Amino acid sequence: MKDAYIAAKERWARKMSGLAKPQVRSTDRLPPGQRRVDNFPVLDLGVVPEVTPDTWSLRIHGKVEKPITLDWTAFRALPQFRDTSDFHCVTTWSQFDMVWEGVAFFTLAELVQPTKDATHVYFRSYDGYTTNNRLDALMDDDVLVAHSWNGAPLPREHGGPARVVVPKLYAWKGAKWVRELIFLDRDLLGFWELRGYSNTADPWRDDRFA
Ligand SMILES: Nc1nc2c(c(=O)[nH]1)N[C@H]1C(S)=C(S)[C@@H](COP(=O)(O)O)O[C@H]1N2
Ligand SMILES: [Mo]
């Protein structure tokens, strides 16, 4: 795991210094079966939980050496990152150049120190939603627990005060109104994964359904 933190930080440093990404992002950015939108649609389970920075906390536990519960102040005191990425929803819309600001997943992992047998993370949200990801996919430096979108606090309907973004996968892999990160030594399917969505969720492989 130590090597993974260092690799993630090195990628981050290259990106921040402008070496890793061309100034003009590729124009070939629309995965198969997607169409481009600019209105950031809202998708939820019909519930928008009432959670504010004052009542929000993030519990990180399971297969970790140092479980922790972060309140808003502690969360905001962690190193803050900004990343621009494209957002692909399985219902066939994509929105480009989403500017997310928050805490990098690898920062949280470094804080709690996953045990050697940790392989997956299960996410629980304030609306009862759950999803799951492989730990290695989350160590990418574009994976954030984000509190801001396009320069403003994340709107409540989009998961404010804080949500997960995993830009390389379909958007259901990112939990809005996130409240718990549970490190596991095995996979555990989340809400949509149990209902027929692909567990791997790769937009570039049109990988929508199991
Ligand atoms: N907590 C929670 N997170 C969630 C969902 C949800 O219903 N509840 N929907 C998922 C789905 S299916 C998608 S496509 C994205 C949508 O994010 P948006 O509403 O900000 O566009 O959030 C994902 N995360
Ligand atoms: Mo979705």
Domains defined for the chain, CATH in brackets = 2-19+31-39+51-205 (3.90.420.10)
Q: The whole model's pTM is what?
A: 0.93
Q: Is the CB of 175 under 6 A from ligand 1?
A: yes
Q: How far apart are CA 209 and CA 206, in angstroms?
A: 9
Report the nearest-CA residue for atom 12 of ligand 1: 172
Which residue's CA is minimally distant from atom 23 of ligand 1?
172
| pLDDT at residue 25, as a whole number | 57
Nearest ligand to the C-alpha atom of residue 129: 1
Q: Looking at residue 21, what is its pLDDT?
A: 58
Reduced to 3 states, what is the DSSP secondary structure of residue 80?
coil
Which residue's CA is the closest to the ligand 1 atom numbered 24?
175
Is 152 close to ligand 1, i.e. is its CB under 6 Å away? no
CA distance 87 to 18: 22
- Determine contact, residues 144/165, Cβ cutoff 8 Å: yes
Q: Which pLDDT does position 58 carry in this prediction? A: 99
Is 44 touching ligand 1 by the criterion CB < 6 Å?
Answer: yes
Helix axis angle for 2-16 and 105-112, nearest 10°, is: 150
Cα–Cα distances in angstroms (integers) from residue 140 to residues 11, 132, 143, in the given order: 9, 15, 6
> Across-strand partners of 36?
94
Atom of ligand 1 nearest to the CA of 192: 12
Phi-psi region of 90 (alpha: psi -120 to 50; beta: other; left: phi over 0): alpha
Does the beta carbon of 170 sit less than 6 angstroms from any atom of ligand 1?
no
The pLDDT value given to residue 20: 67
CA distance 69 to 179: 10
Q: How far is CA 72 from CA 3, 15, 75, 108, in A?
A: 29, 27, 5, 14
Average pLDDT by stretches of 10, the chain with 210 residues: 78 75 68 97 97 98 98 98 97 98 98 98 98 97 98 98 98 98 98 98 97
